[in-house]
Amino acid sequence: MWKKSLLFVWIFMVGSVFLWAKQAPLYIQSDQMEVDHNKRVIVFTGHAKAKQEDIIVQADLMRVYYKTSSTQEKETKNISKQQIERIEAEGHVIITQGERKAKGERALFLKDKGKIILTGHPLLQEGENVIKGEKVIISLNENKMIVLGGELPVEAVIYPQKIKKDAHTEGKKPDQNLQR
């Protein structure tokens, strides 16, 4: 039984299943994995870590829900054609991409809607910049983010970008840089 589950997950991960619309494989590792074909879910528990290209998601528990089209269900259940519907991450969630970091207690990735919802004291950080709220909704399709407050207001600490010095501006006064 466990060999069938392992084979299913291997085909599921290596086949045509990718996170969001990217054409890069999604790698997941954890201390334990459980597959429930009836509920169409794979549960990764203990030090779960998912990686796709330069994005890493870490959590205590990760559930990957997949869907099948009705024609695939009627056929031989071609597992390599399964597609991710949503991913739920719970417990000490950390999402990193370069120097960007998001933390919270829960994250929900909704593939069809192109949304990520982060709750449980979410904190977003890029360099020194920090944003805190009660709920963060990131709309990937619209390139938009909404941070909601609750009992406490939304907090943002944003540092202005430092202007890089180059050979043309070094040693000149600011008003000299504008002159021709």
Per-residue pLDDT of 90-101, as tens digits, reads 999 999 988 899
Instruction: Please write the tens of the pLDDT for every residue from 123-159.
Output: 999 999 999 999 999 888 888 889 999 998 999 999 8
The token duo for 57 is: 């998601």
Strand partners, 155: 132
Residue 76: which residues within 8 A CB-CB, separation 6 or more?
A: none
| pLDDT, position 15 | 29
Q: How far apart are CA 91 and CA 30, in angstroms?
A: 14
Q: How far apart are CA 26 and CA 102, in angstroms?
A: 19
- Per-residue tokens: 31: 């201390």
Residue 23: band (very low, low, confident or very high) from pLDDT cuts 50, 70, 90: low
Higher pLDDT, 58 or 161: 58
pLDDT at 49 over 80: yes
Give the pLDDT band of residue 165 (cuts 50, 70, 90).
Answer: low
Higher pLDDT, 64 or 178: 64
Taking the C-alpha atoms of residue 24 and residue 88, their distance in angstroms, rounded to an integer, is: 20
The closest of 70, 35, 33 to 49, measured between CA atoms, is 33
Nearest to 44 by CA among 77, 9, 15: 9
Structure confidence at residue 82 (pLDDT): 73
At residue 13, does pLDDT exceed 50?
Answer: no
Q: What is the three-class DSSP state of 9?
A: helix
- CATH numbers and ranges of domains, the chain: 2-163 (2.60.450.10)
For residue 55, pLDDT beyond 80: yes
